[in-house]
Amino acid sequence: MVIIPATSPWMNRMTNRVTNPAGTSPSSRPASVRTTMLRLLVVPLALSALVAATGCGTDDSASTTTAAESTTTVAESTTTVATAAPAAAPPCPAEAIQVVVSVDQWGDIVEQLAGECAKVTTVISSSAIDPHDYEPSPADIASLTDAEIVVVNGCDYDHWAEETAEGLDPKPVVVNACEVVGKTEGDNPHIWYGPDFVFQVAAAVTSQLETELSSVGTYFSDRAAAWDASMQGYRDEIAAIKAEFAGRTYAATESVFDYMGDALTLENTTPEGFARAAANETDPSPGDIQAFDQLLTSGGASVLVYNVQTEGSIPEQVRATAEGAGVPVVEVTETVAEGATSFAEWQVAQLESLNQALSGGR
């Protein structure tokens, strides 16, 4: 188990606030890995437990770096996931443009949509850095300066990127995922967990690529089709869970997974006060915690969804209650899981573990 100092009960920051030490950091996932047409991946279910912790809270008072040793209650075995990666992108018939993506949750998608016709730089591509509170380095700002297109999450999630892009002259084209899907500041910012949102944002990115580099014919629409095909496993897994488990309940220690929960037509039974406190990054009241404990011990949640990048004594306590009550714990991550070579692979592995938890749960 992870030992958390008792300094703050809620969402203790597991890592110090970090500015990107190496300046710009292009995606750590080599393009060659993505060019395989069809890979058979063995994804350990506990994979997500291995990522360095970051989180949603703003409390920097306690900062420990703890290799997450937490066990997953779902299964310790491995599962086999078939994931198609898009076909290798052909060379670009024109000079590539510069695209900067603020966070890696969108970085892989943009890279695949752009192919060889854009040099894509992802500013935060390490799961050890907390996107919620990231402070850009001078090199990050410089990389934005050269961008023809900047892709940000928005919804106040990566405010630094929105602000930097706004202040540039000439101003790059900005694709703001939050705005694309009709959300606004104050809404749940975890847009990449909404399947419909993911496809909407991808379409907006493709559209801007086509506008910026109109001389390349069907290059971007071909890439979009290849990417879309590579997302089939993701769509299938969502459909499978929906078909079998619609209406089943889940509770969560924070809101990261909620758009996916909605898409899966699961019922979120997280006590309202607790969810509100988590969203506002404040401490839930003892009554909120008691309500959560009661929910878990009385069969009010089929599974507990747990963001391993946001740990603290309260989420840990909730998890312990779930484990004690035999409620399966499904681990998810805020950013692309360490070792995942694509957005689809990351998401499918998590959905598989949710599917398995729901299968075994009450």
Contacting positions for Zn ion (CB under 5 A): 56, 334
Please identify, using beta-carbon distances, which residue of 58 and 145 lies nearer to Zn ion.
Answer: 58
Residue 55 CB, nearest distance to Zn ion (Å)? 7
Please identify, using beta-carbon distances, which residue of 293 and 334 lies nearer to Zn ion.
Answer: 334
**Residue carrying structure tokens 């929960």:** 261
Please identify, using beta-carbon distances, which residue of 220 and 259 lies nearer to Zn ion.
Answer: 259
**In Å, what is the CA distance from 313 to each residue of 3, 186, 276, 289, 350?**
8, 26, 18, 12, 24
Residue 132 CB, nearest distance to Zn ion (Å)? 6
Are 132 and 58 in contact by the 8 Å Cβ rule? The answer is yes
Residue 308 CB, nearest distance to Zn ion (Å)? 12
Please identify, using beta-carbon distances, which residue of 258 and 334 lies nearer to Zn ion.
Answer: 334
d(CA 281, CA 57): 5
Residue 17 CB, nearest distance to Zn ion (Å)? 15
**Residue carrying structure tokens 């991808």:** 202
| Nearest CA among 252, 284, 286, 285 for reference residue 269 | 252
| Nearest CA among 347, 235, 311, 357 for reference residue 53 | 311
Instruction: For residue 54, give every residue at least 6 positions away whose Cβ sits within 8 Å of its Cβ, in sequence order, or none.
Output: 14, 15, 127, 128, 129, 130, 131, 132, 309, 310, 334, 335
Are 227 and 282 in contact by the 8 Å Cβ rule? The answer is no
Please identify, using beta-carbon distances, which residue of 210 and 281 lies nearer to Zn ion.
Answer: 281
Please identify, using beta-carbon distances, which residue of 168 and 279 lies nearer to Zn ion.
Answer: 279
How many H helices and E strands in the chain? Answer: 13, 10
DSSP string, 7-42: T-SS---SS-----TTSS---SS-HHHHT-SEEEEE
Residue 263 CB, nearest distance to Zn ion (Å)? 18
Strand partners, 122: 101
Give φ, ψ of 102 to 5 degrees.
Answer: -70, -45
Please identify, using beta-carbon distances, which residue of 36 and 63 lies nearer to Zn ion.
Answer: 63
Residue 51 CB, nearest distance to Zn ion (Å)? 14
Report DSSP state, residue 184: -
Residue 223 CB, nearest distance to Zn ion (Å)? 29
Please identify, using beta-carbon distances, which residue of 116 and 187 lies nearer to Zn ion.
Answer: 187
Please identify, using beta-carbon distances, which residue of 331 and 334 lies nearer to Zn ion.
Answer: 334
Residue 254 CB, nearest distance to Zn ion (Å)? 7
d(CA 33, CA 112): 12
| Nearest CA among 240, 20, 6, 288 for reference residue 128 | 20
Residue 54 CB, nearest distance to Zn ion (Å)? 9
